[in-house]
Chains A and B, each alone.
Chain A
């Protein structure tokens, strides 16, 4: 019959799919590995690891996942960026194995986790500073924490010169993280005095890339997000120094690690659940991160931990896995 020829088309498609599916298992080798050894050369690791949470930690999780998967093609890692709060909700619901966080877990989140019998530990994986940036057209050099509070805590300031008469008389165009973000919680807590207190007429996004694009694209743009996103886009943004009372300090890797960049320096965490850590691939992944923290942080352009902090994290992972 004539139409058997037509059946050939979907059959070929199905065959191609089958072949591709079989071929696709042996992953995808991008040909460059950033140093470090996953320590699993003898045994083939496999499984799925689900990570979600902070968009600030995302570049680190992504860089680690990328290189770890190259060395362990049997392990499939997905990384989401729902924000620190959103990540914890899923984590305490048992939907993810590791939660990325740019602030420590809060009491009500701890309660939700214990309700669902999810036990975990807090592992520091990097450091971060919140960078306050503006469009290069808006040549702001330094802002005090009071000025930042004036700008961000309420809707009152409509133009920049209301905050500082030396600044131009331009309408504010602000960009910042949304309410699910740990960066948001941290910034509002430190600068505005109360976590969650903020003006509402700014452009929010959990995706820091959207914020970068916004500030870079608007000649009166000003915003705040994780320092690593500034580092990746230095050519498009103007970094503003923050004066906490002891002089204007611009965030830099050294000043963030030492804590000199106040008050916007903070540690970044990953929270693996103890149930997940019992699986060999998850344990190998966490070991990989704490062992190769320098290279991973460099690849992600994130401020690394100090050696002391790294040793502490390594011990914490061992302890959690042991229990």
Chain B
């Protein structure tokens, strides 16, 4: 910097060399950009409004208690029942199975990549995980229905499963979520300062001890955030369950049976396209609202944990 000169501060947009005036064009541009940013707000408003409007008229006809606590879901039949519990149980069953698969595989991959892998190994394995993340979910659904259920579950493992079952959809969904959990957890673990590791090695800890007792707990917030995000993705997943899990609302914990999830119901009903205003049409939105709220809560929890782990090091 030049010594001895006074620092001149000017507002951005003001010329240091000539007359400064606020150009109108600048304000117009700022306004246009702000409008573009508003589209995202409009999207959220749109989602909330579209769900709210129909959900409220739905609850005009169906008592909230029936919806939340009823155990039979047959909204389109002659004398309908609107208990959403079978759909929620279907969603939770598939999600639970998915997490049983995704958490060990995802965390294992993350710990290996963060602590054990050489940079060359990392370079080959990380893209493979990203590849897994990029595969469209319809492809996973195809795989679950045409290969996993007949060949793996029935022939290889000899299980007696229905052709559409929650186990197949859940396991494949788990594999789909592995990259999400793995990459977020790996980020969290890599963010742990090496000083912590080196200190532990310096005191004679083995790699196993460093990984499990130093790095893992330090990155715990990020790992929990990753898992919660994985759960959120599993809850919102449609195609895998639509193709492989079936369309029978079924309040069961038996993964060998067909179940219907919230997302399956929405997709299957919207495909038939019920007319606006009918109670059937409104059920799509009521279930959609339940789905939206569940993922919103999961997401809020996840962000909380991310914020916490970021703060530790900054």
A/B contact in complex, CB under 8 angstroms: yes
Binding site for B on A (CB under 8 A): 80, 82-83, 86, 89-90, 93, 173, 178-180, 196-198, 200-206, 210, 213-214, 216-218
Tally of A-B Cβ pairs under 8 angstroms: 55
Nearest residue in A to B273 (C-beta to C-beta)?
A: A82
Are the C-beta atoms of A205 and B163 separated by less than 8 Å? no
| Chain B residue, CB-CB nearest to A83 | B272
Q: Is there a chain A Cβ closer than 8 Å to B268's Cβ?
A: yes
Give the 7 A-B CB pairs with smallest separation, nearest first: A217-B163, A196-B78, A89-B275, A200-B74, A203-B248, A179-B76, A82-B272
Q: Are A214 and B272 in contact (CB under 8 A)?
A: no
Q: Choose from A206, A213, A216 the contact partner of B272 (Cβ within 8 Å).
A: A206
Q: How far in angstroms is the closest Cβ of chain A from B54?
A: 17
| Cα(A80)–Cα(B74), bound, Å | 24
State whether B77 touches A198 (Cβ < 8 A). Answer: yes
> Judging by beta carbons under 8 Å apart, are B78 and A90 in contact?
no
Q: Are B76 and A218 in contact (CB under 8 A)?
A: no
* Known A-B contacts A200-B74, A203-B246; A90 and B258 likewise in contact (beta carbons under 8 Å): no
Residue contact B273 to A204, C-beta cutoff 8 Å: no
Q: Mark B243-268, 1 if CB is under 8 A from A, else 0.
A: 00011100000000010000000001
Q: Is B274 a contact partner of A218 (Cβ separation < 8 A)? A: no
Which among B78, B81, B163 is the interface contact of A218 at CB below 8 angstroms? B163
- Cβ–Cβ contact B272 & A86, under 8 A: yes
Could you give 17 example pairs across A and B, Cβ below 8 Å? A82-B272, A86-B275, A90-B273, A90-B275, A173-B162, A178-B272, A196-B77, A196-B78, A197-B78, A198-B77, A200-B72, A200-B74, A200-B77, A200-B81, A203-B246, A206-B271, A216-B163
Q: What chain B residues lie within 8 Å of A80 (beta carbons)?
A: 273
* Contact between chains at A179 and B258 (CB < 8 Å): no
User: What residues make up the interface of B, taking CB atoms closer than 8 Å to A?
Assistant: 72, 74, 76-78, 81, 162-164, 246-248, 258, 268, 271-275
- In the assembled complex, which residues on chain A have CB atoms less than 8 Å from the CB atom of B246? 203, 214
Which chain A residues border B164 with CB–CB below 8 Å?
214, 217
Structural contact, A213 and B163, CB atoms closer than 8 A: yes
Chain A: minimal CB distance from B168 (Å): 12
A203 to chain B, nearest CB (A): 4
Task: Give bound CA distance, A252 to B76, whole Å.
Answer: 32
B274 touches A86 (CB 8 A): yes
Check if B273 sits within 8 Å of A178, measured CB to CB.
Answer: no
Min distance, Cβ A100 to any Cβ of chain B, angstroms: 14
- Residues of B near A89 (CB, < 8 A) are 274-275
Q: How far in angstroms is the closest Cβ of chain A from B245?
A: 12
Q: Is the CB of A217 within 8 A of B272?
A: no
Contact B76 A214 (CB under 8 A): no
Q: Which residues of A contact B271 (CB under 8 A)?
A: 82, 206
Contact between chains at A180 and B76 (CB < 8 Å): yes
> Shortest CB–CB separation between residue B35 and chain A, in angstroms?
24
CA–CA, A205 to B265, complex, Å?
Answer: 11
Residues of A near B275 (CB, < 8 A) are: 86, 89-90, 93
Are A205 and B247 in touch, CB under 8 angstroms?
A: yes
B257, closest chain A residue (CB): A173
